[in-house]
Amino acid sequence: MEDFSGFYKLSVSERLAKVKKSAGLTDEEAKALSDSGALQLERADKTIENVIGAIHLPLGLATNFTINGKHFVIPMAVEEPSVIAAACRAAKQTLPEGFKADADEPIMIGQVQLTGIKDVAEASKNLALNRKEVLGIAAGHMKQHEKYGCGVRDFETKVLDTERGPMIIVDFLIAVGDAQGANMVNTVLENVAPSLAQLTGGRVRLRIVSNLATKRKARASAVWKKDIIGEETIAGVLDAYEFAKHDIYRCATHNKGIMNGIDAVALATGNDWRSVEAGAHAYASLGHYKPLTQYHKNEKGDLIGSIELPLALATVGPAVNSSPTAKIALKIMNVRGSKELAMGMCCVGLANNFAALSALATEGIQKGHMKLHARNIAMFAGALTPEETEAVAEELATEKNFDVEHAKQVLQKVRKM
Ligand code: MEV
């Protein structure tokens, strides 16, 4: 593994050259990145409807991630300044041990809704008696995926008493390998549903994957040592955590900071971030809405942080393939499949959360943000080179004056120097 220390100090082309070498990217792949991952319009037009263009987001790399002893550089696509820097800094503070992580088998839940059933108890009994037959029919629609370890594992039934009468919901548990699984699951459900209707005498309504993938969770933890981050930061993070535990207004923002990292990795790797978001917040709400991370102090006084959430991710399949950069991002990350990707994402989410809490509870986050804001203003005011941008940004930040007209004057002054 290449040494990525000081990666942030390199120019974009130097970074690209470094990652090309370390990840073994082809010239074509490196070019796709340097072309800002330009999505050809013909391709875009085949991906969604009514296409008129494509949008771009910056793609960066989070460094310093050691997970279960393996070193990772993690691609993140995000428009918000500081998110990647914060993840890198928090990850660095866990070294040399880094993060521990694991992930469940990729099992998705797919739901079939049956309504208008005359005798719900009888219908449920019928489903139980015909378990083998139902599983056999469902499995018959997974044949071509079996070689990837996919298959229908089981089903569970529940009765919902609703304002429109009782309904039977059949939840299928389906192993989907390294795919996100929605298509695979929905196909099975649509094919098995008629036999469920027959067995229950009910009418089939919805047949759809659940985004609350509680059978497909990933988790990570890390130790932030007292000697490295200081007792004041530990106390601050613990206070911030208690705040989130006891106040839903704070908790939403706490979890947003986690999703800053998780969504960025999902986007970079071509994953369905809406399903990740839906799953994360529904999981946080089981019982009552809670932080997705936890913190406590160990007997040595060090801070232990941990995270757990459902992550239904793909490292194969159409979404990954239709993005010109997602496959390259996965190659850079060098993950062995959807489980390892989920572990990496968890670590980034935890790192971003720790970084936000430690900054918020001590010096605040505006100082760092303002430096980046100043750089943006400097560029907006016309700064062309990194040197000009830095010099103007420095002065704006020192004077705490971010007015664009003022930035233009500072730029003129810098150019005369
Ligand atoms: C901003 O994108 C994220 C934070 O608000 C998260 C938090 O407050 O924990 C800084």
The model's pLDDT over 216-242, given as tens digits with 9 standing for 90+, comes to 999 999 999 999 999 999 999 999 999
Name the least confident of 33-37, 76-80, 194-198, 366-370. Answer: 366-370
Nearest CA to ligand 1 atom 4: 257
In this prediction the pTM is 0.91
- Region for 245 from its dihedrals, namely left if φ exceeds 0, alpha if ψ lies in -120 to 50, beta otherwise: alpha
Cα 183-186-190 angle, rounded to 5 deg: 140
Atom of ligand 1 at shortest distance to CA of 353? 9
178 is catalytic: no
E-assigned strand segments in 187-329: 203-209, 217-224, 293-297, 303-310
3-state secondary structure 261-278: HHHHHHHHCCCCHHHHHH
8 Å CB contact between 268 and 84: no
Instruction: Convert 143-153 to b/e letters by CB count within 10 Å (16 or more is b).
Output: eebeebebbbb
Q: What confidence category does residue 1 fall into, taking pLDDT thresholds of 50, 70 and 90?
A: low
Nearest CA to ligand 1 atom 10: 356
E-assigned strand segments in 134-212: 151-162, 165-175, 203-209
- Distance (Å, whole) CA 13 – CA 7: 11
* Residue 320: predicted pLDDT: 82
Name the least confident of 102-106, 270-274, 299-303, 365-369. Answer: 365-369
Q: Flag whether pLDDT at 409 surpasses 80.
A: yes
**Type of residue found at 150:** C
Q: Flag whether pLDDT at 319 surpasses 80.
A: no
35 is catalytic: no
Name the least confident of 40-44, 331-335, 349-353, 360-364. Answer: 40-44
Q: Flag whether pLDDT at 109 surpasses 90.
A: yes
- Distance (Å, whole) CA 109 – CA 372: 43
Nearest CA to ligand 1 atom 3: 257
Name the least confident of 101-110, 345-354, 369-378. Answer: 369-378
* Residue 311: predicted pLDDT: 98
* Residue 37: predicted pLDDT: 65
Whether the CB of 235 sits within 6 Å of ligand 1: no
* C-alpha of residue 252 to centroid of ligand 1, in Å: 9
80 is catalytic: yes
Return the structure tokens found at 336: 């062995």
Average confidence (pLDDT) over 272-282: 97
Domains (range + CATH), the chain: 7-104+216-364 (3.90.770.10), 107-209 (3.30.70.420), 368-416 (1.10.8)
8 Å CB contact between 103 and 218: yes
Nearest CA to ligand 1 atom 6: 257
DSSP state, 288?
S
Give the number of other CB atoms < 10 A from CB of residue 245.
15
Instruction: Spot the catalytic one: 18, 92, 225, 256.
Output: 256
Q: Which residue has the tokens 């010099």?
A: 391
The model's pLDDT over 118-164, given as tens digits with 9 standing for 90+, comes to 999 999 999 999 999 999 999 988 888 888 889 999 999 999 999 99
